Amino acid sequence: MGKFDGVLLASDFDNTLIYTEDALRTGGQVPTLSKGNREALEYFTGNGGLFTISTGRALAAFEHYAPMLPINAPGIVCNGAAIYDFAQKEYLEFSMLEETALERGQQVLEAFPTVACEAYHPENVIHAVHPNEITRKHAHLTHVEVEEKASLLEVPLPLGKLLFEEELPVLEQVKTYLTEKGWAGDYELIFSTKTLLELTKKGASKGGMVLRLAELLHIDPRNLYCAGDEANDLSMLKVAAEGFAPENCIEAVRQSGATIVSDARKDAMADIIARLDKKY
């Protein structure tokens, strides 16, 4: 028996577990997991804890990194659209968009010609319509080639999410457009960065799926902990027994009541596990 038996820790990947912002901006390489974070996670899992990732990335954009991390539980991908078992290489849960989302997304692209959209298929395929510079930087960060389509109507279902890409002022107009059309209530619309607006099925959020994962793993919600830095992490930070956020988090996360730990560039995960070590 280990001191962390029955404890689940779910962490966002980008800029929480590993700081990837510099790689996105410069086109450089994504850093490896720091020695401090790795040693802390190995201590946590070696003493019975379950550690996993809850990421906005689709499986295709994350599976390159999964073998490099000490994950020992199924993870959440596509911003809460699915739970994937990395050990068994299979999906455990889906929450997929319907064809109507593609039709509405195409109307967005026609109304905002500079906006790009990535469409995420569960079979490790990412399609892109109107790809722009943000799309290209994103593809570099995720190590995934995108298949370009002329229209979202040409993209095959099922899809976990749509990802609109432009600068923040334009994406805010996109969100307003979806709201004024009366469609926003049918989806989860969340900014994962200042240049990425995520659209998933209603209820498909990190918070909803992390609770479902805890249920699948028979984890008492009182032993569920989450870490994240962005707006798309807020839902899981709120449902956790305690939510943690690195010092580099956005202001909305800072104001959410999450416990602020070290910057993601300074072993934030090791700081979290040190706190859990005292708690258990």
Check whether 212 has a pLDDT greater than 80. Answer: yes
Out of 201, 217, 249, pick the residue that ends a domain.
Answer: 201
Q: Is the domain of 214 the same as that of 172? A: no
First to last CA, the chain: 13
Q: Where are the alpha helices (DSSP H) in 122-242?
A: 133-142, 168-180, 206-216, 234-239
Q: 85-108 as b/e, with b when 16 or more CB fall inside 10 Å?
A: ebeeeebebebbbeeebbebbbeb
Which tokens hold the place of 55?
């990421």
Instruction: Work out the mean pLDDT of the chain and round it to a whole number.
Output: 94
Which tokens hold the place of 110?
């026609």
| 176-196 mean pLDDT | 94
Which class for 120: exposed (0-12), middle (13-18), buried (19 or more C-beta within 10 A)?
A: buried
Domain at 145, CATH number: 3.30.1240.10
Q: Is the domain of 91 the same as that of 210? A: yes
The answer to whether the beta carbons of residues 213 and 91 sit under 8 Å apart is no
pLDDT tens, 44-89? 999 999 999 999 998 988 988 999 999 999 999 999 999 999 999 9
Q: Is the domain of 103 the same as that of 181? A: yes
pTM tops 0.85, yes or no: yes
Confidence of residue 25 (pLDDT cuts 50, 70, 90): confident
pLDDT tens, 219-271? 999 999 999 999 999 999 999 999 999 999 999 999 999 999 999 999 999 99
Confidence of residue 122 (pLDDT cuts 50, 70, 90): confident
Out of 184, 201, 218, pick the residue that ends a domain.
Answer: 201
Out of 149, 184, 201, pick the residue that ends a domain.
Answer: 201
Instruction: Write down the pLDDT at residue 146.
Output: 86
Which tokens hold the place of 227?
């870490």
165 is in which domain, residue-wise?
A: 99-201
